[in-house]
Structure 1
Amino acid sequence: MSEDKERPLRADAERNRRQIMETAERMFAERGSVATLNEIAHEAGVGVGTVYRRFPDLVSLMNALFAERFTTFLQLAETAAELAEPGEAMRHYLVEAARWRAGDPALDVILAHADLEAAPTAGMREELGRRVDALVERALAAGAVHEGFASSDVYAYLYMIGAIADRTHDVAPDAWRRYVDVLLRGFGLEPATETQAPPAMTDAQILGTWPKP
């Protein structure tokens, strides 16, 4: 890594970087990967050259956004691992990871376009896999989840919660919480207790989630 990249960014450069990344997140959530770096620069109110200095191409921007997200998921797994009761540890990770996924409509676009084999994204992905495996193994050994529960169920669970959250965020933004509880019970875990799950969506809300042209 070059000396320039190792050196912390100046405050104004860091503000620009955050503005670029936050604008990209919003545009990816709204438009998918069709947003270009030039368009992101315009929306962010920074020069095109500023964007290209930080992110030479769209993949490098996707990789930076990926790293931020996986840092969060790694921290959630680390916090969960510190809980003494294996079932509570597994539940904590599933609930908090779902909460983050529900609030991140750009995640699927970022995962689809980041370079998952490049460093450091590959290393972060592998480390998260190890941490999730450890949580699952603890829960299984303690009998806190149904026999047959697997790490792949954790990822499928987040896919499902993400799909619900993305489809319902404009009409029933808390709907995903209801299905967290449903799936936790299916895994053999008690549902989250900090808040009551919302009621089922009405027919009008379901209609509002249908795909639109």
Structure 2
Amino acid sequence: MTQGTGRPLRADAERNRRLVLQTAGRMLAERGTAVTLNEVAREAGVGVGTVYRRFPDLQALINTLYAERLTTFRQLAADAAQQEEPGRALRHYLLAAATRRAEDPALELILEHASLDQPEIAEMADELGRRVDGLVERAVAAGAVRADFTSSDAYNLLYMLGTVSDRTEQIAPGNWRRYAEVLLTGFGLQASPAERTEAMTDEQMRQAVWPRQP
């Protein structure tokens, strides 16, 4: 959709928009907010004017990236809520959200720098919060998770798993799932044996902790 009009973009314009957003997400993950719109345009292979027509500055681009991610996580929460068993519903969301986080190393930076005072973004964030609160409250009421489990635990769990993934994904893909199992079990949400992941080898740990050492 075009900003402010609600009209769909032409197919080529939408392709360029998607390309710019994907490129910006990757560059933000690699270099942080030192990235400029000119560099994003060059890396994406589109004209500088194409970028600036959609995003007047880097903040506007980050806000758009954040809104897209809020949309994704709201849908994950909505899908999880369709599970009849409350514990399964919460576990479904946490694993789905952790998977999405593992695929998106720019997420923490985008969360940190998004403008939460934007009404549309604030409303989307509030809605996501309500959906996650609902999943947590149902699971607690059903005794499917520790009685002291809260939504903040859900967010911190995702943060921890994301940190593990950022450090190990290129060395031991999917290894974060091993720690997801430990954390979910610790909170009372039983993990499936089929989801168990082997521990990293000594060599993989060396690469993860000391990546610059020969």
TM-score (norm 1): 0.94
Corresponding residue for residue 15 of structure 2: 15
In 1: Cα distance, 2:190 partner to 2:105 partner: 27
How does 1:37-186 map onto structure 2 within 5 Å? Answer: 37-186=37-186
Percent of matched pairs sharing the same residue: 59
Q: Which amino acid aligns with 2:195?
A: Q
1:79-105 Cα shifts (integer Å, max 9, x gaps): 111111111111111111111111111
Change (3 A) 1:19 1:85: same
In 2: Cα distance, 1:209 partner to 1:182 partner: 20
Q: Which amino acid aligns with 2:32?
A: G
How does 1:192-211 map onto structure 2 within 5 Å? Answer: 192=192, 195-210=194-209
In 1: Cα distance, 2:21 partner to 2:81 partner: 30
Q: Which amino acid aligns with 1:118?
A: Q
Q: Which amino acid aligns with 2:206?
A: L
Q: Which amino acid aligns with 2:208?
A: T
Report if aligned partners of 1:171, 1:208 keep a CA contact under 8 Å in 2: yes
Q: Which amino acid aligns with 2:209?
A: W
Report if aligned partners of 1:91, 1:192 keep a CA contact under 8 Å in 2: no
Change (3 A) 1:3 1:101: closer
Change (3 A) 1:184 1:3: closer
**CA shift for structure 1 position 27:** 0.8
* Partner SS state of residue 147, structure 2: coil
* Partner SS state of residue 5, structure 2: helix
**Structure 2, gaps ≥5 residues long:** none
Report if aligned partners of 1:70, 1:124 keep a CA contact under 8 Å in 2: yes
**CA shift for structure 1 position 201:** 0.8
- With 26-35 and 93-102 compared, the bigger mean Cα shift is at 26-35
How does 1:20-31 map onto structure 2 within 5 Å? Answer: 20-31=20-31
**CA shift for structure 1 position 212:** 5.3
Report if aligned partners of 1:95, 1:192 keep a CA contact under 8 Å in 2: no
**CA shift for structure 1 position 197:** 2.0
TM-score (norm 2): 0.94
Across the aligned residues of Structure 1 and Structure 2, the Cα RMSD in angstroms comes to 1.6
1:43-98 Cα shifts (integer Å, max 9, x gaps): 01111111000000111111111111111110111111111111111111111111
**CA shift for structure 1 position 192:** 3.9
Report if aligned partners of 1:178, 1:198 keep a CA contact under 8 Å in 2: yes
- With 183-192 and 151-160 compared, the bigger mean Cα shift is at 183-192
- With 202-211 and 6-15 compared, the bigger mean Cα shift is at 202-211
